[in-house]
Amino acid sequence: MKCNSIHNQLIGYLDDEIDNDLRNEIEAHLKECSHCSEFLIRLKKAFDLVDEEKQMQHDPYMITRIIARLEDRKPMILKNKFRMAFQTVAFVALIAIGIYSGILIGKNFTNESPISADYQNEIYYLDELQHENMISVLLTD
């Protein structure tokens, strides 16, 4: 097995994620190749340094700080809720005012331009069918 192929497998070898055949091949190569076996040692050391970093300690004051932050946020949460309620009411009021203004404008427009009596008669004559049945018109002399 060539060194390049070995390098690609070494992290898997360290994590015990390779099958037995591959493991045996790698170990056979490592016995004969000081370059690869030295690299394996360095690689293991590198990941041991990573393992050291994750050795965190339980923080006994964490919950106290969290509770304190939640307490600080309460007035802000109430303020935000009030602001949201106010915004909703303001929005609904604006819509209502808009609709009412539209109705008022529409009414004024209707009042300012009444249909004239002559125009009304014209409409009447154009729509005579409602007042005189077509059959009776055809049947009379």
Partner 1 sequence: MLLMTEGEYIEGLKRGDEKVFREFVDQHQLSLLKLCIGFLHNEEDAKDIVQDVFIEVFQSIGQFRGDALLSTWLFRIAVNKSMNQIRKSKSIRILSNIDSVMPFKKKAIADITDESEISDRHIETKEQAKIIRRAIDLLPRNQRIAFILSKYQDLSYKDISGVMNISLSAVESLIHRAKLSLQKKLYNLYKKKLI
- Measured at the alpha carbon of residue 19, what is the angle toward residues 13 and 22, in degrees to the nearest 5? 70
Query: What is the distance in angstroms between the CA of the first residue and the CA of the last residue of the chain?
Result: 118
Q: Which is nearer to partner 1, 72 or 112 (CB)?
A: 72
Please tell me the distance from the alpha carbon of residue 41 to that of residue 35, in angstroms, as a whole number. Answer: 10
Least distance (Å) between residue 39 CB and partner 1: 5
Least distance (Å) between residue 85 CB and partner 1: 19
Least distance (Å) between residue 94 CB and partner 1: 30
Side chain identity at 18, as an amino acid letter? I
Name the site residues for partner 1 (rule: CB under 8 A).
Answer: 7-8, 10-12, 39, 42-43, 45-47, 49-50, 52-54, 56, 58-59, 62-63, 65-67, 69-70, 73
Least distance (Å) between residue 27 CB and partner 1: 18
Please tell me the distance from the alpha carbon of residue 114 to that of residue 92, in angstroms, as a whole number. Answer: 34
Q: Which is nearer to partner 1, 54 or 131 (CB)?
A: 54
Q: Round the CA-based radius of gyration of the chain to a whole number and report it.
A: 45
